[in-house]
Every structure is written in structure tokens, then in C-alpha cells.
Structure 1
Amino acid sequence: MSNGDEKVCNAVRELLNQNGVLEGEQEIQYATKFSVKSGANKAGIIVYNSGKIHVEGADSELKKWVTDLKTSIESGTAAPGILLPAEIEKFPQTLQERAPDCDGVVLWFFQEALRCYKAGSAAGAAFMLGAASEKAILLLIESYGNRIKDDKNREAFFSRVNNKMISVKYDEFKRSYKSATPKPKELPLAQDLEQLLDGAFNFYRHTRNAVGHPQIIPDLDKGVILANLGQFIVYVERIYKLIAFYNANDVQV
């Protein structure tokens, strides 16, 4: 039996375990102390037998999160959002570092996806990732089309993609790309269209549609969504390398 208030201890223990930050707990005089760790950051949360909660530790994102947890328990409000490891918190910064020319719209929707995930909404994150992906692909298609050298071929390409759904635009782009010259020759860029881009584009589009078309409740796995938040950085980095290639080369189709 805990020295601290049993009900409060159970609430604290459950939330810490859910977020994978409970390092240990020990009974101290008139209280139970929970040790909390995330990366290099540490904090403590003490639950007294009166039910009072005290937070200790150096200032950090972890301590801030633990303080929010304390407030949520004391006030009976919703628990704080999901606590993510430091490298995941830095995803937007990492995206900008690896794709310095990343469009502001792409970055905004990516940041919103991360906020949704942290708030516990996998559906919101999936929808925002789909929107960010669509904008990035539209920029690639526009860059490719603008570099088609022959005026008639360029006009014909844009007539096939303008005012169409994103899936139609992407399929038209792929068909044109297959017969176009030149193509990137260096790996992995040379293989990206049919390998990385196809799979990622279709995942982001399908999960967005699952959320955006209210026919059934979408079955979304939080772990898969989190993995694809990380994959999105590689995906956009490759898209911008393709954009840079086409900005430097005329296209013959």
C-alpha cells in the first residue's frame, strides 16, 4: 500500500506509465515519490497522504509536462498531451534543416500534425499529414511541368493535371515522368519515384481520406502514424531534391 493517497498515486502511476516516463517509485515519510525520466531530463512527483502533489526537478520540458499532469489531477481536467522524446519534438526543425526550401504551407501542416499527435488525436495528425503531403506533391508536379521544354507538350501536360484530384494529378505526372528525359541518375534519387514517393504519397492520401470521408470510423494505429511523421521528413527531403533537379534541367517528353 502506498504511503501517498492511494487514489492519487494510482492516477499518477497510470499516466506516467502511459507515457513511458516512470523510472521508479519509493515510499518516503507520509508520501510516495515517483521518479520520472525522459531522455536526459529528470523530474520527481511526490504524492502525500493528504492527496497533495508536489513537483520537483530542474526546469525542462519534462518538468513542465509533469506540472501539467499535477494540475490535471488536482482540477479533474483532461490529462496533458502525449509527452514525446526530444528528437520527435524537433521534427519541424529537422525538416527545415534537411529541406531548407520547404514551403511554408507544407511546414505549417506538418507542425499541426505533430500538435494533433501530441494532443492524442491520431486522426487529426493523419489528416494534417495528408494535407502537407498534397502540397509538397503539387509543388513537385508544378516544378516538373514548368520545365517541359516544348510549349505544346507543356500545355498538354497542364491540361491533364489542372483542376483534377490529387490522385489524378499524381498519376499523370508518373506517366509523363516515365517517358521523360533526363532523369536523376544518382541513388537513391533515381529510384525514389517508384519506391519511396509512391508508398508514402499513397499512405498519406489514404489515411487523410479515411478521416476526411465520414463513412466509417477510421482504424488508425498511433504507432504507425508516429512512424510516418518521421518518414515525412525523408519524403519531403526527396521531393525537394527532385524539385531542385528539375529546376536545373529542361524536360523532354
Structure 2
Amino acid sequence: MPNGDGKVCGAVRESLTQNSVLEAEQDIQFATKFTVKSGANRAGIIVYNSGKIHVEGAESDLKKWLVELKASIESGSAAPGILLPAEIEKFPQTLQDRVPACDGVVLWFFQEALRCYKAGSPSGAAFMLGAASEKAILLLIEAYGNRIVNQENREKFFGRVNNRMISIKYDEFKRSYKSAKPHPMDLPLSQDLEQLLDGAFNFYRHTRNQVGHPQIIPDLDKGVILANLGQFIVYVERIYGLMAFFAANDIEV
């Protein structure tokens, strides 16, 4: 049995373990101390045998989260949202840094996806990622079509993609792009571009559809959704690299 109140220690231990921030646990006089680490930040939360909780450590997002955890346990309310490592918290800023021209709609939905994930809703995150992906692909298709040199072919292309579902638009783009000239020759755009776009686009679309079509309860893995939040940055970076290539080259189909 811990020196600290058993019920409170259990609640603290469970929350810290779920968020992968528990570094160590030790009994001290009249209490149990949990040492917590997230990235470069460390803090502590002490549970006394009376049930009282004390948070210690330098000011940081980690300590702020622990204070919220303390308040939730003492009040019996819902636990705070998921605590993410600092590099994940910075995903939206990383996207802006790597893709300065990123469309505001894409960025907004990406930010919402991260907020949903932090709030404990991977389904909400999947839906928002799907929306962000769709907007990015629409921009790519438009950028490609506008650079088709032959007016008749350009009009035919837009005739095939306009007013269609996103999956049909994307398939039409792939078919046209496959036979188009020129293609990028420089890395990384010349390497497995179609495979990267295909895999990411279909994942974001399928998981969004699982949430958006209410036939069944979505079965989404939180770890997979988190990994694809990170992958989204590379995905958008490639899309904008391709858009820049189209802007600099006339496309013949």
C-alpha cells in the first residue's frame, strides 16, 4: 500500500500512465511522490495520506497540466485532456514553418484535429484531418488543371473533375498526371510521390468517412491517428512542392 491515500494515488497513477509521463513513484513520509517527465520538463505531484494533493516544479505546460489534474481529482470532475509532448504541441507551427504558403483552411482544420486529439476525441481528429486533406487535394487539382497548356484539354480535365466527389476528382487527377509532362526530377518530389500521396490521401479520406457516415461506431486507433497527425505535415509539404512545380512549368497532356 502507498503511504499516500490509496484511492487518490490510484487516480493519479492511472492518469500519469495513460499520458506516458510517469517517470517514478516513491513513498516519502506521510505521502507518495510521483515524478513526472514530458520532453525536457519535469515536475512532481505528491499525494498525502490525508488525500491532499500538492504539485511542485518549475512553471511549464507539464506543471499546468498537473494542476488541472489535481483540480479534477479534488472536484470529482473529468480529467484534463491528453498531455502531448512539446514537439507534437508545435505541429501547427511546424506546418506553417515548413509550408509558409499553407492555405488558411488547411491550417485551421489541422489545428482543430490536434485540439480534438488533445481533448480525447480521436474520431474528431480523424474527421478534421480528412477535411484538411480534402482542401489540400482540391488546391493541388486546381493548380494542376490551370497549368495545362492546351485549352481544350484543360477544359476537358475540369469537366471531368468539377462537381464530383473528392475520390473521383483525385482519381481523374492521377490518371491525367500519369501521362502528363513534365514530371519533377529533383528529390524528394521525384521519389515515390504518387505512393505517398495515395497512401496518405486514402487514409485521411477513409477515416473521415468512418466518422462521417454513421452506419457503425468507428474503430480508430489513437496511436495511428497521432502518427498521421505528424505525417500530415510531410503530406502537405509534398503537395505544395508539387503545386510550386506546376506553377513553374506548363503541363502537356
What TM bracket, shorter-length normalisation?
over 0.9
Secondary structure in 2 aligned to 1:43? Answer: strand
CA distance in 2, matches of 1:146, 1:56: 58
Corresponding position of 1:113 = 113
Corresponding position of 2:86 = 86
Task: Write the deviation string for residues 117-164 of structure 1: whole angstroms up to 9, x where unpaired.
Answer: 111111011100000000000000000011111111111111111111
Task: Write the deviation string for residues 71-123 of structure 1: whole angstroms up to 9, x where unpaired.
Answer: 11011111111111111111111111111110010011011111111111110
CA distance in 2, matches of 1:97, 1:155: 35
> Are 1:237 and 2:248 matched, yes or no?
no
Unaligned runs of 5+ in 2: none
Q: CA deviation at 1:185?
A: 1.3
CA distance in 1, matches of 2:178, 2:42: 53
CA distance in 2, matches of 1:179, 1:16: 53
Q: CA deviation at 1:188?
A: 2.5
Which is worse superposed, 237-246 or 216-225?
A: 216-225
TM-score (norm 2): 0.98
In 2, are the aligned partners of 1:4 and 1:31 still within 8 Å (CA)? Answer: yes
CA distance in 2, matches of 1:224, 1:157: 35
Corresponding position of 1:98 = 98
Corresponding position of 1:18 = 18
Corresponding position of 2:160 = 160
Q: CA deviation at 1:31?
A: 1.4
Corresponding position of 1:131 = 131
Task: Write the deviation string for residues 185-243 of structure 1: whole angstroms up to 9, x where unpaired.
Answer: 12331244421001100010000001100001111111111111111000000000000
CA distance in 2, matches of 1:61, 1:116: 18
Number of equivalenced pairs: 253
Corresponding position of 1:3 = 3
Q: CA deviation at 1:250?
A: 1.0
Secondary structure in 1 aligned to 2:80? Answer: coil
Runs of 4+ in 1 over 6 A off after TM superposition: none
Corresponding position of 2:222 = 222
> Are 1:190 and 2:190 matched, yes or no?
yes
Secondary structure in 1 aligned to 2:190? Answer: helix
Secondary structure in 1 aligned to 2:55? Answer: strand
Secondary structure in 1 aligned to 2:217? Answer: coil
Which is worse superposed, 20-29 or 197-206?
A: 20-29
Paired AA for residue 150 in structure 1: N
CA distance in 1, matches of 2:184, 2:40: 42
Corresponding position of 2:207 = 207
Q: CA deviation at 1:67?
A: 0.5
In 2, are the aligned partners of 1:95 and 1:233 still within 8 Å (CA)? Answer: yes
Q: CA deviation at 1:39?
A: 1.2
CA distance in 2, matches of 1:129, 1:39: 25
CA distance in 2, matches of 1:191, 1:176: 19
Paired AA for residue 30 in structure 1: F
Corresponding position of 1:73 = 73
TM-score (norm 1): 0.98
- Aligned-residue Cα RMSD (Å) equals 1.0
Paired AA for residue 134 in structure 2: E
In 2, are the aligned partners of 1:68 and 1:80 still within 8 Å (CA)? Answer: yes
Corresponding position of 2:146 = 146
CA distance in 1, matches of 2:19, 2:180: 49
CA distance in 2, matches of 1:72, 1:207: 32
